[in-house]
Structure 1
Amino acid sequence: MVLLTAGNERPTKTLATAVRDWAKKEHVDLRTVTATGSVDLLSAVDKAIGMQPDLVVSAGNMLIDPLAMATPSHLSQQFLVVGAELAEPTHNVTAVDWAGATFRGEGLKMASSYNPASFTMARCAASVRAGVAAVLSQRTGIVVWLDES
Protein backbone atom coordinates (compact mmCIF):
# COMPACT_ATOMS: atom_id res chain seq x y z
CA MET A 1 0.00 0.00 0.00
CA VAL A 2 1.18 3.54 -0.71
CA LEU A 3 0.12 6.53 1.37
CA LEU A 4 0.07 9.59 -0.87
CA THR A 5 0.04 12.87 1.06
CA ALA A 6 0.12 16.58 0.35
CA GLY A 7 -0.19 19.48 2.75
CA ASN A 8 0.70 20.14 6.36
CA GLU A 9 -2.71 21.08 7.73
CA ARG A 10 -4.08 19.19 10.73
CA PRO A 11 -6.73 17.19 8.80
CA THR A 12 -4.09 15.80 6.42
CA LYS A 13 -1.74 14.94 9.28
CA THR A 14 -4.54 13.20 11.19
CA LEU A 15 -5.54 11.17 8.13
CA ALA A 16 -1.93 10.18 7.44
CA THR A 17 -1.48 9.10 11.06
CA ALA A 18 -4.67 7.01 10.87
CA VAL A 19 -3.40 5.26 7.73
CA ARG A 20 0.00 4.57 9.30
CA ASP A 21 -1.59 3.28 12.51
CA TRP A 22 -3.94 0.98 10.58
CA ALA A 23 -1.12 -0.38 8.42
CA LYS A 24 1.05 -1.07 11.46
CA LYS A 25 -1.78 -2.80 13.31
CA GLU A 26 -2.68 -4.93 10.28
CA HIS A 27 0.97 -5.65 9.33
CA VAL A 28 0.58 -4.02 5.93
CA ASP A 29 3.64 -3.05 3.90
CA LEU A 30 3.22 0.73 3.72
CA ARG A 31 5.30 3.10 1.65
CA THR A 32 4.77 6.86 1.60
CA VAL A 33 4.95 9.45 -1.18
CA THR A 34 4.73 13.06 -0.04
CA ALA A 35 4.19 15.90 -2.50
CA THR A 36 6.50 18.76 -1.58
CA GLY A 37 4.48 21.53 -3.18
CA SER A 38 1.78 22.36 -5.70
CA VAL A 39 4.10 21.80 -8.69
CA ASP A 40 4.92 18.31 -7.36
CA LEU A 41 1.34 17.04 -7.00
CA LEU A 42 0.92 15.21 -10.32
CA SER A 43 4.43 13.78 -10.23
CA ALA A 44 3.76 12.49 -6.68
CA VAL A 45 0.62 10.75 -7.95
CA ASP A 46 2.63 9.25 -10.82
CA LYS A 47 5.34 8.09 -8.41
CA ALA A 48 2.76 6.37 -6.18
CA ILE A 49 1.21 4.61 -9.18
CA GLY A 50 4.66 3.61 -10.42
CA MET A 51 5.28 1.74 -7.17
CA GLN A 52 2.50 -0.66 -8.28
CA PRO A 53 0.86 -1.09 -4.89
CA ASP A 54 -2.37 -2.97 -4.30
CA LEU A 55 -3.86 0.32 -3.10
CA VAL A 56 -2.95 4.03 -3.19
CA VAL A 57 -4.49 5.89 -0.24
CA SER A 58 -4.57 9.67 -0.52
CA ALA A 59 -4.65 12.19 2.30
CA GLY A 60 -4.89 15.90 1.54
CA ASN A 61 -7.32 18.05 -0.41
CA MET A 62 -4.52 19.30 -2.67
CA LEU A 63 -4.41 15.84 -4.29
CA ILE A 64 -8.01 15.74 -5.51
CA ASP A 65 -7.55 17.55 -8.83
CA PRO A 66 -4.34 15.64 -9.75
CA LEU A 67 -6.05 12.35 -8.85
CA ALA A 68 -9.05 13.29 -11.00
CA MET A 69 -6.64 13.70 -13.92
CA ALA A 70 -4.60 10.53 -13.29
CA THR A 71 -7.03 7.86 -12.10
CA PRO A 72 -8.96 7.37 -15.38
CA SER A 73 -5.68 6.53 -17.13
CA HIS A 74 -4.77 3.85 -14.56
CA LEU A 75 -7.93 1.77 -14.27
CA SER A 76 -6.10 -1.30 -12.96
CA GLN A 77 -4.80 0.66 -9.95
CA GLN A 78 -7.10 0.95 -6.93
CA PHE A 79 -7.31 4.30 -5.11
CA LEU A 80 -8.81 5.19 -1.75
CA VAL A 81 -9.51 8.85 -1.00
CA VAL A 82 -10.17 9.57 2.67
CA GLY A 83 -11.82 12.77 3.84
CA ALA A 84 -12.55 13.99 0.30
CA GLU A 85 -13.83 12.66 -3.02
CA LEU A 86 -13.40 12.97 -6.76
CA ALA A 87 -16.28 14.70 -8.54
CA GLU A 88 -16.52 12.04 -11.27
CA PRO A 89 -14.73 8.92 -10.00
CA THR A 90 -14.02 5.91 -12.15
CA HIS A 91 -14.58 2.36 -10.93
CA ASN A 92 -11.09 2.22 -9.40
CA VAL A 93 -11.61 5.15 -7.00
CA THR A 94 -13.32 4.72 -3.65
CA ALA A 95 -13.83 7.59 -1.23
CA VAL A 96 -14.86 7.88 2.41
CA ASP A 97 -16.54 11.07 3.62
CA TRP A 98 -18.54 12.39 6.54
CA ALA A 99 -20.25 15.67 7.40
CA GLY A 100 -17.45 18.22 7.34
CA ALA A 101 -15.17 16.32 4.93
CA THR A 102 -16.38 16.42 1.36
CA PHE A 103 -13.87 18.43 -0.67
CA ARG A 104 -14.36 17.59 -4.38
CA GLY A 105 -11.80 19.77 -6.11
CA GLU A 106 -11.31 23.38 -6.98
CA GLY A 107 -14.46 25.17 -8.04
CA LEU A 108 -16.88 22.42 -7.02
CA LYS A 109 -19.37 22.75 -4.20
CA MET A 110 -19.00 20.44 -1.23
CA ALA A 111 -21.84 18.17 -0.19
CA SER A 112 -21.51 19.60 3.31
CA SER A 113 -19.67 22.47 4.95
CA TYR A 114 -15.96 21.79 5.34
CA ASN A 115 -15.02 21.53 9.01
CA PRO A 116 -11.38 20.76 9.87
CA ALA A 117 -12.47 19.90 13.42
CA SER A 118 -14.43 16.93 12.02
CA PHE A 119 -11.11 15.19 11.24
CA THR A 120 -10.81 13.49 14.60
CA MET A 121 -8.48 10.54 15.04
CA ALA A 122 -11.43 8.23 15.70
CA ARG A 123 -13.27 9.36 12.55
CA CYS A 124 -10.14 9.19 10.39
CA ALA A 125 -9.35 5.68 11.69
CA ALA A 126 -12.93 4.59 10.95
CA SER A 127 -12.68 6.04 7.45
CA VAL A 128 -9.52 4.06 6.71
CA ARG A 129 -11.10 0.82 7.96
CA ALA A 130 -14.33 1.43 6.02
CA GLY A 131 -12.51 2.40 2.84
CA VAL A 132 -10.13 -0.56 2.86
CA ALA A 133 -13.05 -2.89 3.59
CA ALA A 134 -14.94 -1.47 0.60
CA VAL A 135 -11.94 -1.97 -1.70
CA LEU A 136 -11.26 -5.49 -0.42
CA SER A 137 -14.91 -6.44 -0.95
CA GLN A 138 -14.79 -4.92 -4.46
CA ARG A 139 -17.27 -2.16 -3.62
CA THR A 140 -15.28 0.42 -5.57
CA GLY A 141 -16.16 3.52 -7.53
CA ILE A 142 -18.39 4.69 -4.68
CA VAL A 143 -18.41 7.16 -1.82
CA VAL A 144 -18.76 5.53 1.60
CA TRP A 145 -20.53 7.95 3.92
CA LEU A 146 -19.73 7.72 7.64
CA ASP A 147 -22.67 8.58 9.84
CA GLU A 148 -21.95 10.72 12.88
CA SER A 149 -23.91 8.52 15.24
Structure 2
Amino acid sequence: MRTPLAAAALAAAVALVTGCASGDDWSRPHAGPTPVGTLDAGFTDPSAPPAPEATVTPRPGSWDGVHPPEGYRVVLLTSGTDRPTKALVEAVRTWAEDEHVDLRTVTAEHPADLLPSVTGSLEMGADLIVGAGNALIDPLATVTPSHLSQRFLVVGAELAEPTANVTSVDWSGASFRGEGLGMSSTFDPATFTAARCAAAVRAGVAAVLSDLTGIVIWLDRH
Protein backbone atom coordinates (compact mmCIF):
# COMPACT_ATOMS: atom_id res chain seq x y z
CA MET A 1 0.00 0.00 0.00
CA ARG A 2 1.30 3.44 -0.84
CA THR A 3 2.22 5.48 2.22
CA PRO A 4 0.81 9.03 2.53
CA LEU A 5 4.35 10.42 2.29
CA ALA A 6 5.14 8.53 -0.89
CA ALA A 7 1.80 9.46 -2.43
CA ALA A 8 2.34 13.12 -1.67
CA ALA A 9 5.88 13.03 -3.04
CA LEU A 10 4.74 11.41 -6.26
CA ALA A 11 1.86 13.83 -6.73
CA ALA A 12 4.07 16.83 -6.12
CA ALA A 13 7.07 15.69 -8.11
CA VAL A 14 5.79 14.13 -11.30
CA ALA A 15 3.26 14.47 -14.04
CA LEU A 16 1.27 11.24 -14.37
CA VAL A 17 -0.42 10.37 -17.63
CA THR A 18 -2.45 7.25 -18.32
CA GLY A 19 -2.53 5.82 -21.81
CA CYS A 20 -3.40 2.56 -23.56
CA ALA A 21 -5.34 1.66 -20.42
CA SER A 22 -7.55 -1.40 -20.16
CA GLY A 23 -9.72 0.02 -17.38
CA ASP A 24 -7.65 -1.81 -14.75
CA ASP A 25 -6.86 0.51 -11.84
CA TRP A 26 -3.84 -1.69 -10.96
CA SER A 27 -5.08 -2.16 -7.40
CA ARG A 28 -6.37 -5.69 -7.94
CA PRO A 29 -4.16 -8.79 -7.61
CA HIS A 30 -2.19 -9.43 -10.76
CA ALA A 31 -0.53 -12.67 -11.86
CA GLY A 32 3.04 -12.58 -13.05
CA PRO A 33 3.27 -12.01 -16.80
CA THR A 34 3.82 -14.92 -19.18
CA PRO A 35 5.24 -14.00 -22.59
CA VAL A 36 3.40 -14.74 -25.80
CA GLY A 37 5.92 -16.47 -28.06
CA THR A 38 9.60 -17.26 -27.66
CA LEU A 39 12.93 -15.79 -28.68
CA ASP A 40 14.35 -16.99 -31.99
CA ALA A 41 17.77 -18.53 -32.43
CA GLY A 42 20.51 -15.93 -32.28
CA PHE A 43 19.27 -13.85 -29.37
CA THR A 44 21.56 -15.70 -26.98
CA ASP A 45 23.22 -19.11 -26.89
CA PRO A 46 20.83 -21.38 -24.94
CA SER A 47 23.72 -23.66 -24.02
CA ALA A 48 25.60 -20.77 -22.40
CA PRO A 49 23.17 -18.33 -20.75
CA PRO A 50 24.65 -14.84 -20.24
CA ALA A 51 26.21 -14.17 -16.85
CA PRO A 52 24.97 -11.25 -14.72
CA GLU A 53 26.05 -7.89 -16.17
CA ALA A 54 27.11 -9.57 -19.41
CA THR A 55 26.69 -7.84 -22.75
CA VAL A 56 24.93 -9.78 -25.50
CA THR A 57 24.59 -8.87 -29.18
CA PRO A 58 21.46 -10.59 -30.47
CA ARG A 59 20.75 -11.28 -34.11
CA PRO A 60 18.50 -8.49 -35.45
CA GLY A 61 14.85 -9.47 -35.26
CA SER A 62 15.45 -12.48 -33.02
CA TRP A 63 13.14 -10.83 -30.49
CA ASP A 64 10.23 -10.24 -32.87
CA GLY A 65 8.35 -13.39 -31.85
CA VAL A 66 7.95 -12.35 -28.20
CA HIS A 67 4.98 -10.22 -27.14
CA PRO A 68 3.60 -9.11 -23.77
CA PRO A 69 0.44 -10.80 -22.47
CA GLU A 70 -2.90 -9.10 -22.25
CA GLY A 71 -3.02 -6.70 -19.31
CA TYR A 72 0.75 -6.17 -19.14
CA ARG A 73 1.35 -3.19 -16.86
CA VAL A 74 4.16 -0.82 -17.78
CA VAL A 75 5.30 2.47 -16.26
CA LEU A 76 7.28 4.72 -18.58
CA LEU A 77 9.60 6.71 -16.32
CA THR A 78 11.11 9.63 -18.19
CA SER A 79 12.95 12.91 -17.77
CA GLY A 80 14.30 15.33 -20.33
CA THR A 81 13.21 17.11 -23.49
CA ASP A 82 16.32 16.39 -25.57
CA ARG A 83 16.02 14.65 -28.92
CA PRO A 84 17.21 11.20 -27.75
CA THR A 85 14.78 11.12 -24.82
CA LYS A 86 11.88 12.21 -27.00
CA ALA A 87 12.71 9.47 -29.51
CA LEU A 88 12.79 6.84 -26.77
CA VAL A 89 9.51 8.02 -25.26
CA GLU A 90 7.82 7.91 -28.64
CA ALA A 91 9.13 4.39 -29.22
CA VAL A 92 7.76 3.16 -25.89
CA ARG A 93 4.36 4.73 -26.51
CA THR A 94 4.13 3.35 -30.05
CA TRP A 95 5.09 -0.12 -28.83
CA ALA A 96 2.53 0.05 -26.02
CA GLU A 97 -0.22 1.04 -28.44
CA ASP A 98 0.72 -1.67 -30.93
CA GLU A 99 0.85 -4.34 -28.22
CA HIS A 100 -2.22 -3.10 -26.30
CA VAL A 101 -0.14 -2.62 -23.17
CA ASP A 102 -1.58 -0.80 -20.15
CA LEU A 103 0.88 2.10 -20.02
CA ARG A 104 1.23 4.81 -17.38
CA THR A 105 3.78 7.61 -17.71
CA VAL A 106 5.68 9.28 -14.88
CA THR A 107 7.63 12.38 -15.93
CA ALA A 108 10.24 14.01 -13.72
CA GLU A 109 10.16 17.63 -14.85
CA HIS A 110 12.82 19.08 -12.51
CA PRO A 111 16.05 17.74 -10.97
CA ALA A 112 14.44 17.57 -7.53
CA ASP A 113 11.75 15.29 -9.00
CA LEU A 114 14.12 12.57 -10.16
CA LEU A 115 14.41 10.42 -7.04
CA PRO A 116 10.73 10.86 -6.01
CA SER A 117 9.69 9.83 -9.52
CA VAL A 118 11.59 6.55 -9.21
CA THR A 119 10.40 5.75 -5.70
CA GLY A 120 6.84 6.74 -6.56
CA SER A 121 6.73 4.56 -9.66
CA LEU A 122 7.74 1.58 -7.54
CA GLU A 123 4.45 1.70 -5.67
CA MET A 124 2.25 1.70 -8.76
CA GLY A 125 2.24 -2.09 -9.18
CA ALA A 126 3.79 -2.30 -12.66
CA ASP A 127 5.08 -5.47 -14.25
CA LEU A 128 7.87 -3.41 -15.77
CA ILE A 129 9.28 0.10 -15.30
CA VAL A 130 10.97 1.47 -18.43
CA GLY A 131 13.47 4.30 -17.94
CA ALA A 132 14.12 6.82 -20.70
CA GLY A 133 16.44 9.78 -20.13
CA ASN A 134 20.04 10.02 -18.94
CA ALA A 135 19.08 12.08 -15.89
CA LEU A 136 17.36 9.04 -14.41
CA ILE A 137 20.41 6.76 -14.42
CA ASP A 138 21.87 7.79 -11.06
CA PRO A 139 18.48 7.73 -9.24
CA LEU A 140 17.79 4.29 -10.72
CA ALA A 141 21.22 3.09 -9.60
CA THR A 142 20.39 4.28 -6.09
CA VAL A 143 16.95 2.69 -5.84
CA THR A 144 16.95 -0.52 -7.90
CA PRO A 145 19.25 -2.66 -5.68
CA SER A 146 16.74 -2.35 -2.82
CA HIS A 147 13.77 -3.49 -4.92
CA LEU A 148 14.89 -6.71 -6.57
CA SER A 149 11.35 -7.97 -7.14
CA GLN A 150 10.59 -5.05 -9.48
CA ARG A 151 11.84 -5.39 -13.03
CA PHE A 152 13.35 -2.41 -14.82
CA LEU A 153 14.33 -1.79 -18.42
CA VAL A 154 16.66 1.08 -19.35
CA VAL A 155 16.75 2.04 -23.02
CA GLY A 156 19.52 4.09 -24.61
CA ALA A 157 21.70 4.06 -21.49
CA GLU A 158 22.81 1.64 -18.77
CA LEU A 159 23.61 1.39 -15.08
CA ALA A 160 27.30 1.04 -14.28
CA GLU A 161 26.66 -1.87 -11.89
CA PRO A 162 23.15 -3.23 -12.57
CA THR A 163 21.49 -5.74 -10.29
CA ALA A 164 19.64 -8.75 -11.66
CA ASN A 165 16.37 -6.82 -11.95
CA VAL A 166 17.75 -4.18 -14.33
CA THR A 167 18.12 -4.84 -18.05
CA SER A 168 19.57 -2.28 -20.46
CA VAL A 169 19.61 -1.84 -24.22
CA ASP A 170 22.47 0.16 -25.68
CA TRP A 171 24.52 0.83 -28.81
CA SER A 172 27.46 2.92 -29.98
CA GLY A 173 26.28 6.48 -29.65
CA ALA A 174 24.33 5.80 -26.45
CA SER A 175 25.89 3.97 -23.44
CA PHE A 176 25.61 6.75 -20.82
CA ARG A 177 26.31 5.14 -17.42
CA GLY A 178 26.06 7.96 -14.85
CA GLU A 179 27.81 7.75 -11.47
CA GLY A 180 30.10 10.66 -12.32
CA LEU A 181 31.49 8.89 -15.36
CA GLY A 182 30.31 11.69 -17.63
CA MET A 183 29.00 11.45 -21.16
CA SER A 184 30.60 8.81 -23.33
CA SER A 185 32.95 10.22 -25.95
CA THR A 186 30.97 8.27 -28.54
CA PHE A 187 27.60 9.75 -27.55
CA ASP A 188 25.73 10.74 -30.70
CA PRO A 189 22.11 11.95 -30.58
CA ALA A 190 21.77 11.14 -34.30
CA THR A 191 21.95 7.41 -33.47
CA PHE A 192 18.63 7.60 -31.61
CA THR A 193 16.63 6.94 -34.75
CA ALA A 194 13.01 5.82 -34.67
CA ALA A 195 13.99 2.37 -35.96
CA ARG A 196 16.77 1.85 -33.43
CA CYS A 197 14.68 3.08 -30.49
CA ALA A 198 11.80 0.83 -31.53
CA ALA A 199 14.16 -2.14 -31.74
CA ALA A 200 15.62 -1.28 -28.34
CA VAL A 201 12.21 -1.31 -26.69
CA ARG A 202 11.10 -4.56 -28.31
CA ALA A 203 14.40 -6.36 -27.72
CA GLY A 204 14.54 -5.23 -24.11
CA VAL A 205 10.97 -6.20 -23.29
CA ALA A 206 11.43 -9.56 -25.01
CA ALA A 207 14.50 -10.24 -22.87
CA VAL A 208 12.71 -9.30 -19.65
CA LEU A 209 9.67 -11.41 -20.51
CA SER A 210 12.02 -14.32 -21.28
CA ASP A 211 13.77 -13.99 -17.89
CA LEU A 212 17.03 -12.75 -19.42
CA THR A 213 17.54 -9.89 -16.99
CA GLY A 214 20.47 -8.06 -15.44
CA ILE A 215 22.27 -7.92 -18.80
CA VAL A 216 23.12 -5.30 -21.42
CA ILE A 217 21.71 -5.87 -24.92
CA TRP A 218 23.92 -4.33 -27.60
CA LEU A 219 22.21 -3.35 -30.85
CA ASP A 220 25.02 -2.09 -33.08
CA ARG A 221 24.01 -4.44 -35.88
CA HIS A 222 20.46 -3.11 -36.11
Normalising by the smaller structure, the TM-score range is over 0.9
The whole-number CA distance in structure 1 between the counterparts of 2:127 and 2:185 is: 31
2:91 corresponding residue in structure 1:
18
The whole-number CA distance in structure 2 between the counterparts of 1:38 and 1:44 is: 10
Cα-Cα RMSD: 1.2
Query: Which runs of 5 or more structure 2 residues have no equivalent in the other structure?
Result: 1-73
1:86 corresponding residue in structure 2:
159
SS in 2 for 1:140: coil
Percent sequence identity over aligned pairs = 69
Report whether the alignment pairs 1:114 with 2:177.
Answer: no
After superposition, the Cα gap between the structure-2 partners of 1:53 and 1:116, relative to the gap in structure 1 and judged at 3 Å, is: same
Report whether the alignment pairs 1:46 with 2:140.
Answer: no
The whole-number CA distance in structure 2 between the counterparts of 1:52 and 1:71 is: 15
Tell me if the contact between 2:78 and 2:132 (Cα under 8 Å) persists in the aligned partners: yes
**1:30-109 equivalent positions in 2, closer than 5 A:** 30-108=103-181
Report whether the alignment pairs 1:126 with 2:199.
Answer: yes
2:78 corresponding residue in structure 1:
5
Matched residues, number: 149
CA displacement at 1:29 relative to structure 2 = 0.1
CA displacement at 1:97 relative to structure 2 = 0.1
Report whether the alignment pairs 1:137 with 2:219.
Answer: no
Q: What whole-Å deviation, never above 9, does each CA across 1:67-114 have from its counterpart, x for those lacking one?
A: 000000110000000000000000000000011010000422666610
Tell me if the contact between 1:68 and 1:89 (Cα under 8 Å) persists in the aligned partners: yes
Letter in 1 for 2:76: L
Give structure 1 regions of 4+ aligned residues with deviation exceeding 4 angstroms. Answer: 109-112
CA displacement at 1:47 relative to structure 2 = 1.3
The whole-number CA distance in structure 2 between the counterparts of 1:87 and 1:71 is: 12
Instruction: Specify the structure having the higher radius of gyration (Cα).
Output: 2
The whole-number CA distance in structure 2 between the counterparts of 1:98 and 1:112 is: 13
Query: Which runs of 5 or more structure 1 residues have no equivalent in the other structure?
Result: none
* TM-score, normalisation: structure 1: 0.96
The whole-number CA distance in structure 2 between the counterparts of 1:35 and 1:109 is: 21
Tell me if the contact between 1:99 and 1:148 (Cα under 8 Å) persists in the aligned partners: no
Q: Could you say which structure has the higher helix fraction?
A: 1
The whole-number CA distance in structure 2 between the counterparts of 1:52 and 1:108 is: 32
Letter in 2 for 1:3: L
